[in-house]
Structure 1
Amino acid sequence: MAASLVCGKTQYRVSSVLNRDVKQFGKKFMFDSNEETCWNSDQGDCQWLIFDFPQSVRVSELKVQFQGGFSAKTCRMEGCSVDEDFKVISHFYPEDNNSLQCFPIQEVAAVDRVKITFENSADFFGRIIVYILDVLGEKAT
């Protein structure tokens, strides 16, 4: 059964935060279950998010909720083991709206790291706003 892979021991980084204001727009707000908070990237193409999981995982689904007008149009998920280069797992194409969107990921080998790249944005300046993001799957044995 697929469950959230993001836990207290998961480390994650983002490409940027709007005006470096992490208190108002930081990465933690994607995972706080509060519909009024969000991660807001600074401007520029190819915004990204990297997860370092505490153990190997098998990803089966990605859930994301953007703010309409600030969603990604083309996205890429990559994964790798520790000390390896990222390899493409999946491409996905979100709609430009405010709804929670789910993207199933086809059978994937176990990975320790996942990178989600928002290749371009519906916003003219390349900003991305994410209210909810979750990586689902199971721990690899």
Structure 2
Amino acid sequence: MTTLVDGSTRVRVSSVLNRDTKQFGKKYLFDGEEDTCWNSDQGSPQWIHVNLETECDVSEIQIKFQGGFAGKDCCLESHNDEQIKKVMDFYPEDVNSLQSFKLPESLKLSSFRIVFNSSTDFFGRITIYQLSILGEKS
């Protein structure tokens, strides 16, 4: 398995805390730095939409939240061929460590959304220090 996100990957997020993209923007999801993060603004749901350059076999998602600002009720949706399909639900723990969520089976995806329907934060904010999309390039 390799990481599927590279420089050609397009990523959109639902919001950024106080619209401060210099400090909390989406670019920090995949930068590999321990002290940078994407921080959403308040409200639910929050989401991260990933568009890979080509269709890939996606098999696992890894997320490192900040405790107190973790997703509670989450899902992965595929957005291929103008159709939205729920792939799986997952329920992260409210901890600061890297968590892995394996897909029920490896799926060919090029466009998908990670949806955080609720958060452990009272205001619905999500803070992610690391996000990895693992699988095989087709």
**Which TM class, normalised by the smaller chain length?**
over 0.9
Match of 2:97 in 1: 99
* 1:99-129, Cα deviation, whole Å (9 max, x unpaired): 0000111214312101000110000000000
Is 1:46 the counterpart of 2:68? The answer is no
- 2:72 alignment counterpart: 73
Structure 2, unaligned stretches of length 5 or more? Answer: none
Report the equivalent of 1:22. 21
For residues 80 and 47 of structure 1, what CA distance do their matches in structure 2 show? 16
| Moved beyond 6 Å, runs of 4+ | none
CA-based RMSD: 0.9
Query: How big is the shift at 1:67?
Result: 0.2
| TM-score (norm. length: structure 1) | 0.94
Q: State percent identity of aligned pairs.
A: 52
Q: How many aligned residue pairs are there?
A: 138
Matching residue of 2:82: 84
Residue 42 of structure 2 aligns to which amino acid in structure 1? Q
CA shift digits 1:19-44 (9 cap, x unpaired)? 00000000111111111000000000
- AA aligned to 2:61 is L
The answer as to whether partners of 1:28 and 1:39 remain within 8 angstroms in 2 is yes
Partner residue of 1:130 out of 112, 128, 131: 128
